[in-house]
Amino acid sequence: MGRATITDIARRAGVSTATVDRVLNDRAGVAAANRHRVMQAARDLGYLPVEGMVTLPSRPVHLEFFIPMVQNGFMGELVNGIRRFAATVPLVASCNIRALDGFGPESLLPALETVALRTSGIGLVAADHPRSREAIRRVCEAGVRVVTIASDVPDSGRSAYVGVDNTVAGRTAALLMGRMASGAGGAVGLFMGSRAYDGHQGREAGFRAVLERDFPALSLLPPIETGERSDRTRVAMTQLLRGTPDLAGVYCIGAGRTGIVAALEEIRPVRRPIVIMHDITDRTHAWLADGVIDVVIDQNVQLVAEQTVIRLLGAIATTAPHLLLKNIEPRIILRENIPQS
C-alpha cells in the first residue's frame, strides 16, 4: 500500500482537497471542526507520524543532522535509518545529514555556525564539552530546536535526548558480566572512547557500581580510552591479553570493537574472556553468531533514528523548551536470540 495522498485525506475527512491543503500548510479560513477532521484523517492514514502525546508541526519543516562518521558501525546505520524514515514523513521538507570527523567541539562548532536559515530542527551526536554546550545553547536561543542522540549534552538547552539510559545500560552489562565471568574470578578490562562522551561516562559509572558492589571476585582494571579507534583498541587489547593472565572479561563501551576481535584472533588465549559490546551492527551480529563475543546490549538503531525525527518534529511544534524524557529500552542480544538480518 502506497503513502496516503491529499485526496485520500480529503475523502476520509469529508472535505475538499483545497481544505486539506490549507490545514496541512496552516493557512487561515478553515473551521476548527474541519481542521480537526483533517488532522485526524491524516494521522489515521499514516500521513502524519503519531508518537504518544507529541504534538506535530502543521507544515513541513527542514531538519539537519550532525553525525560523527568515525570507525563506528552504529553511526552509519543511524544515518541510514534517519534518511529512510524522514523520506516517509511528509512533514519533513528536507533532511540534510552532515558528517563530522569527531565528537568534540572542534568538529561540532564550525558545523553549527553554518546551519541553514530555513532549518527548524537539528539532531546531533556530540561529546559533553563546555564549548559544545554553549554553542548548542546559542542555536536554541536563536529558535532552532535541538535533539541529542545516543549520548546526551545536558544543560545545553536541547529539547530532548533520544537513546538508552546509559547508566542503566552499564549496570546491565555488569550484571551479565558478573553472572557469566565471576565463577573463576579475575580481572575485567574496560574500553571506552572518551570520558568527554556523556554516554560513555554513564555506562562506565553504572558498570563499575554494580561490579564492585555485587561481584567481589572480579576486579575492574583502569579504563582504557581509545578515541573510538580500532587500531588503538587492538594494541591495548593485545597488551591486556599478554599481560593479564587472569583476564576474565572485557567490556567495550563504544566503538573500536574490531580491534578487540582482531587481538583475540591473533593471541587466541586458552581462556577467552567474556566479551560484552554495544549495538547490533553487521559485524557484532556476525561475531555473536560465530561465538567470538558473548553479549551485545543494543539500543535498536532504527528506533533511535525514528524517535529522533519524531522528537524533533514535536520540539518544533511546541512552545515548551523541553519534551518529557522517554528513554529507549536496551535489548540484551545473545547468540540464541540474534535478530534476523
User: Do 35 and 82 belong together in one domain?
Assistant: no
Residue 32: pLDDT band (50, 70, 90) is confident
pLDDT for position 36: 76
Answer yes or no: is pLDDT of 33 > 90: no
Residue 21 has a pLDDT of 74
Same domain, 28 and 112: no
In angstroms, the CA 264 to CA 269 distance is 7
Task: Check residue 1 and give its pLDDT.
Answer: 42
Count Cβ atoms below 10 Å from residue 95 Cβ, excluding itself: 17
Percentage of the chain modeled with pLDDT above 70? 91
Q: Which residue has the higher pLDDT, 256 or 276?
A: 276
| pTM for this predicted structure | 0.78
Quick: pLDDT tens for 161-180: 999 999 999 999 999 999 99
Q: What would the grid cell of residue 79 be?
A: 544515518
Q: Name residue, grid cell 546559542.
A: 138
Give the β-pairing of 295-298 and 274-278: parallel
The answer to whether residue 20 scores a pLDDT higher than 50 is yes
Q: Which residues pair with 122 in a beta bridge?
A: 64, 146
Regarding whether 316 and 263 lie in a shared domain, the answer is: no
Same domain? For 76 and 139 the reply is yes
| Contacts of the segment 77-80: beta carbons below 8 A, 24+ positions apart | 77/281, 77/301, 77/302, 78/125, 78/149, 78/150, 78/301, 78/304, 78/305, 80/305
Does any domain span residue 274?
Answer: yes
How far apart CA 145 and CA 135 sit, in angstroms, is: 13
pLDDT tens-digit map of 179-215: 999 888 999 999 998 888 889 999 999 999 999 999 9
Measured between alpha carbons, how far is residue 25 from residues 15, 19, 51, 88, 273 in Å? 15, 10, 21, 18, 58
Q: What's the whole-number mean pLDDT along residues 232-250? A: 97
Residue 94 scores a pLDDT above 50: yes
Residue 208 is part of a domain; what is its CATH number? 3.40.50.2300
Asked if the structure places residue 12 within a domain, the reply is yes
Q: How many domains does the chain contain in total?
A: 3
Rounded to an integer, the average pLDDT of 118-135 is 94
Domain identity same for 274 and 182: yes
Any domain includes 49: no
Which residue in 192, 153, 158 sits closest to 321, CA to CA?
158
Q: What local confidence, expressed as pLDDT, does residue 29 receive? A: 74
- The reported pLDDT for the residue numbered 51 is 46
Question: How would residue 107 be classed by pLDDT, with cut points 50, 70 and 90?
Answer: very high
- What is the rounded average pLDDT for all residues in the chain? 89
For the record, the C-alpha cell of 158 comes out as 536541547
Let me know whether 38 and 149 are in one domain: no
Same domain, 127 and 33: no
Report helix, strand or coil for 264: helix
Mean pLDDT across the stretch 51-73?
Answer: 80
Contacts of 274 (CB under 8 A, 6+ apart): 177, 180, 181, 248, 249, 250, 294, 295
| Assigned domain for 306 exists | yes
Out of 28-37, 88-97, 125-134, pick the least confident. Answer: 28-37
Q: Supply the pLDDT for residue 26.
A: 55
Say what the pLDDT of residue 47 is.
66
pLDDT of residue 256: 87
pLDDT beyond 50 at 307: yes
Per-residue model confidence (pLDDT) at position 109: 95
Residue 294 DSSP class: -
Whether residue 288 sits in one domain with residue 184: yes
Read off the pLDDT of each residue in 63-88 and give the average, rounded to a whole number: 89
The tally of CA atoms less than 13 A away on the side-chain side of residue 236 is 25
Helices (H) and strands (E) in the chain, counts: 12, 12
Range of the domain at 192: 166-298
pLDDT for residue 25 is more than 70: no
Mean pLDDT of 81-93: 93
Residue 128 in any domain: the answer is yes
Q: What is the mean pLDDT of residues 90-94?
A: 93
- Mapped onto helix, strand or coil, the DSSP state of residue 195 is coil
Strand order in the sheet with 92-100: 92-100, 61-68, 119-124, 145-149, 160-162
48 has pLDDT over 90: no
Is 128 found in the same domain as 83? yes
Least confident window among 24-28, 79-83, 205-209, 288-292 = 24-28
Same domain, 236 and 153: no
What average pLDDT does range 39-63 have in this prediction?
Answer: 73
333 part of a folded domain:
no
